[in-house]
A and B are shown apart, each in its own frame.
Chain A
Amino acid sequence: MRKIGKQTIEFENMPNIISSYSIVGPKEGKGNFSQYFHKILDDDLFFQDSYEKAERKLFLTATQEALKKCDMSQQDIDVLIGGDLMNQIISSNFNARELQAPFLGVFGACSTMVESLIVGACLIDGNGFKNAVCVTGSHFSTAEKQFRYPLELGTQRPPTSQWTVTGAGCIILSSKDSNVKITKATIGKVVDWNVCDVNNMGGAMAPAALETLYTFFEDTQTKPDDYDLILTGDLGKLGSEILRDLMEFRGYKLGANYGDCGQMIFSNEQKVFQGGSGCGCVASVLSSYVIDRLKCGKLKKVIVVATGALMSTISSQQGDSIPCIAHLVLLEGKDV
């Protein structure tokens, strides 16, 4: 492992992705990636008596199924890394309690999946760990309760709003060889361009994505066209348009190979305004569609930039602007 440029890590042993599993709610299951998700729930309560418990079960199911896919048991986990949107990242904590695995809880709001992957990749690249299990997710109903209004309150959502994805994704990194590797990563800085509107997350997070993506291209001396796919986490429709504008202004024009998980996860008929958001958004798309395409060789080099808005309801109510962060990993697939 070595540092290149200002903020980028190059992995020398190249941690491998040996297994991934995605589980989503019924609404996400009707979206654009329905054929790629591993499991689609019929009911977002997932046979539990509260949505918080359902979110935990999403985590546990994703982890157990991902372990099963690569013939691992929970005793084999060297380190479990994860986070979520709930206060004190309870869903991840309770998941770790069930799995009885060494656990590192991380928080990067909606960027948590990529943050987990970076931490896991570093631990494996240092030759210390054989595997790292990264799991993150979110639930629409728990996020609404914590950040917004009760579900049954008759309110109108503003046109800039996004819909928190109900879903979880688990990705298992290993020192064992596989088709998909993490080759580089860029750790983002907290970026705050003084956007205060909590209903416009895309607008608040776009500058963070810009800074990380720009730094990555500068550090690696590459340009957007060198990659098959550049994927942002959950900027949504508006946020990704803004990122295109900002990147062009900085001299890197994003072409047709740029997409946003939040914008793509729901179809236009689902009326979710700017698209999906939440830890589960990038986690479920990454652990299903992206890794699937990399495995079968249809994609070779994929940049994933997950963005997160690091505010709380208290900081927003006290008038603070929204600090945001974006972390980046470069995934590469072998020729098949």
Chain B
Amino acid sequence: MIDFLTKIMPNVVENWSGDNGILLGIGQTLYMTFWTTLIGGILGLILGIALVVTEKKGILANAVVYSILDKIVNIFRSIPFVILLAVAFPLTQLLVHTTIGPKGALVPLILGSAPFYARQVQNTLVQVDSGVIESAEALGYGPWTIVFSVYLREGLPDLIRTSVLTIISIIGLTAMAGAVGAGGLGYIAISKGYQRYQNDIIWVCTLLILVIVFIVQGLGDLWARKVDHS
């Protein structure tokens, strides 16, 4: 078996484990994706909810807060990610005391994905039927109950779908972060596959990323379908 694999993709077998190996790359990609999704997801969710409730017809309408949040989101969404990686260096150094490796990539990854996710959350939650919101107000519920029991519950199926979309785009960003020394499958594909003409590594890394994407997509779809009763 090993002989066969060595024959069709010698470089992959050689670089499978050990320092800077593909196995480590998978771990690093998963590490970056997980923490970015978790922290960026929470930040994005809070920001998205804040946008929905403070907008003109929101349950806590506040034009000043809305326009500030709206501008922050727009600015961060406008900075190309590769540039954000560089721009975020000082902040990264301050927060995680390193600018390289998967840990160093987390700060720019979160800065890049949270605003993106916030906008997705906002677009999803504004579609929750305003009549349902009104009926919850008529039942004597305050903003907290309405956010958690109505917005997040009614919006859940679409929220799951947009979250999947966001996670997939985060996986894409981790590969890009690899270009500036963050490690992960993207880094391996470029530094070992592309730059050293080891095509089998490029293919395997691509395949592995696709597998991660498909698993995320599949689980997301399954969950969304389960909670969707409309």
**Do A and B interact?**
no
Interfacial residues, chain B to chain A (CB-CB below 8 A): none
- A interface list, Cβ under 8 A from B: none
